[in-house]
Amino acid sequence: MAAWETVIGLETHVQLRTATKMFCGCSAAFGAPPNTNVCPVCLGLPGALPAANEQGIKLAVRAALALGCTVHARSLFARKNYFYPDLPKGYQISQFEQPLSTGGALSFLSPDRGIATATIARLHLEEDAGKSLHDRFARYTAVDLNRCGVPLVEIVTGPDFRSPQEARAYLQTLKQVLEYAGVSDCDMEKGSLRVDANVSVRRPGQATLGTKTEVKNINSFAYVEKALLAERDRQVALLEGGGTVVQHTMLYDSKNNAVRPQRLKEESHDYRYFPDPDLPPLVLSPEFIAEQQAQLPELPAAKRERFVAQYGLSVTDAAVLTAERVVADYYESVARAGAEHKAAANWVMGEVLADAKDHGERLRVQAPALAQLIALVKGGTLSHQAAKRVFTEVAERGGDPRTVAEALGLVQVADTGVLAGWVTDVLGAHAGEVNRYRNGETKLMQFFVGQVMKASRGKADPKLTQKVLEEKLAS
């Protein structure tokens, strides 16, 4: 197997987050009853005409800029002609010659090569088709045209990935960037991010590409790697058996984790693209493009670098905190509320993300509350253990951390008189350890502190406890 190099290029369709469809005023919302979000335009009724959605254009331009593409001042809508029951006009409005944008790049962390760059050959606007439901009625295909005309961008990379794992890593980065840019929710389960892959294999060092196949029907992130592995293995087995790869469209079957060739009948051979005469060329002024650039938030890579510089975090921590925009924003709110940066990072990466994971990705503790909690730990009022309990309590029932800690009786005891009592009890119960300590085994201090914490049920102030212990053991 090592004797083959895999080459993968991806075509990703991403649904733009608009309220209405690309060429009519129908709702673009997911999940409405079949054929309810439709009108003469998206139904392709005789005489109906498209009118481009400005918000769709804005989001597409932002997506292009977020991926470092050159947005062209003039681009053309084109018709892609083919017959299919879920395509009511008999053509899809897309872009072909003169697309919206070209020549971008996206850096991502390759599991094989470290930081790698995928070239974005083009990003263009198009409308979605409807949905054919083959399993709804026996012997009939049902067609739902709600999705028809929903705005998409198609993002085409070069043949830049060298393994299925790498392709997946790119996709995750792409999703992250587009979510950040606010252009899409990139939800693969709802179909708002769909990916087709061109796959070929060749001998390492070979300059030309092998014959490629296109793999379609990859409908979840989990299947990206599996589908590409299946196709790569199929091609390698074919070549090693003395066969040749035939250029073909392959469909991934997730149930059997296998790829099968698409039936010839399902394939369209010639889309007969030509400029759509119903839509004038899309002309974008430099001001419009600059406005969209200004609308873009700081993107993950830049944010990561800034977190390292501004908050003194490690690259790894910064990467975790900036993986999602809401989390990054949350971290910054905590830091802005006065929390110590490293401690805040640990809290967010630990308790906060774990809690969010169990509670529908909600960040349940307000940033100022977390900052206060961190300050209570730092000031010695709460032990770390106690603070975790307060966190959970605040997450569940809300409230101010200090009040909650007091109500729960978790505020640390810093009264040396009270501490001395626990210390005396502990030392009395562990005479052997006391002797060993006095004979130089000073690392037993941690043991004694732990025992005092246990005896106090977490309420003893650890620093003060250590001081009292040192005094008692020295005497």
Partner 1 sequence: MSEASEALTSGRAAADRIVKVKRLNACLTPPKELRSSLIRQAQAAHPSGVLYGMPVAVKDNICTLEFTTSCGSKILEGYRSPYEATAVTKLKAAGALIAGKTNCDEFGMGSSTEHSAYGRTLHPGDKNRVAGGSSGGSAALVAAGAAPAALGSETGGSVRQPASFCGVVGIKPTYGRVSRWGLVAFGSSLDQIGVVGRSVHDAARVLSVISGRDPKDSTCEDRDPLRLPTVPESLQGFVIGIPKEYFPPDLDPGVRRACDRAIRLLKELGAAVRDVSLPHTSYAVPTYYIVAPAEASSNLARYDGARYGPRFDGSADVRSLYRHTRGEGFGPEVRRRILIGTYVLSSGYYDAYYRKAQQVRGLIAQDFRHVFDRGVDLLFTPTTPTPAFKAGEKTADPVSMYLSDIFTVTANLAGLPALSLPLGRIKGLPIGGQFIGQAFLEDEMLEAAYALERVVPAGEEV
- DSSP-assigned beta bridge partners for residue 10: 197
Specify burial of residue 379 (Cβ count, 10 A radius: 0-12, 13-18, 19+).
exposed
- Name which position in 33, 47, 114, 241 contacts partner 1 (CB under 8 A): 47
Among the residue ranges 75-83, 112-120, 388-396, 430-438, the one whose residues contact partner 1 (CB under 8 A)? 75-83
Rounded Cα gap, residues 74 and 173, in angstroms: 29
Min CB(263)–partner 1 separation in Å:
12
Contact (Cβ atoms closer than 8 angstroms) between residue 333 and residue 320: no
164 in contact with partner 1 (CB under 8 A): no
Single out the residue of 243, 261, 280, 398 in contact with partner 1 (rule: CB under 8 A). 280
The answer to whether the Cα torsion of 279, 280, 282, 285 is positive or negative is: negative
Out of 32, 105, 258, 279, the residue judged to bind partner 1 by CB under 8 A:
279
Binding piece for partner 1, criterion CB under 8 A, among 42-50, 402-410, 420-428, 437-445: 42-50
Cβ neighbours of 23 (radius 10 Å): 24
Q: Does 286 bind partner 1 (CB under 8 A)?
A: no
* 343: phi then psi, degrees, rounded to nearest 5: -60, -45
Of 91 and 161, CB closest to partner 1? 91
**What CA–CA distances, in Å, run from 252 to 223, 242, 286, 320, 371?**
9, 24, 43, 32, 48
Q: Does 263 bind partner 1 (CB under 8 A)?
A: no
Binding partner 1 (rule: CB under 8 A), the pick from 10, 26, 58, 88 is 88
Residue 109 CB, shortest distance to partner 1, in Å, is 39
Q: Does 43 bind partner 1 (CB under 8 A)?
A: yes
3-state SS of the chain: helix, strand, coil percent to 5?
40, 20, 40
| Owner of token pair 């007969």 | 272
Contact present, 109 and 80 (Cβ < 8 Å): no
User: In 3-state terms, what secondary structure has residue 413?
Assistant: strand
Which residue type does 287 have?
A: E
> Does the footprint of partner 1 cover residue 277 (CB under 8 A)?
yes
Binding mask 121-160 for partner 1 (x = CB under 8 A): ------------------x-x-x-----------------
Site for partner 1 in 97-116 (CB under 8 A): none
Report the distance separating Cα 428 and Cα 69, nearest Å.
73
d(CA 445, CA 443): 5
* Comparison of 23 and 422: residue with beta carbon closer to partner 1: 23
Nearer to partner 1 by C-beta: 52 or 445? 52
Contact pick of 10, 12, 22, 50 for partner 1 (by CB under 8 A): 50
Among 134, 263, 265, 357, binds partner 1 (CB under 8 A): 265
| Residue 81 makes contact with partner 1 by CB under 8 A | yes
Report, in Å, the least distance between residue 47 CB and partner 1: 4
Q: How far is the CB of 216 from partner 1 (least distance, A)?
A: 19
209: nearest Cα among 199, 218, 217? 199
- Is 51 a binder of partner 1 (CB under 8 A)? yes
Q: Which residues bind partner 1 (CB under 8 A)?
A: 40, 43-52, 79, 81, 83, 85, 88-91, 139, 141, 143, 265, 270, 272-274, 277-280
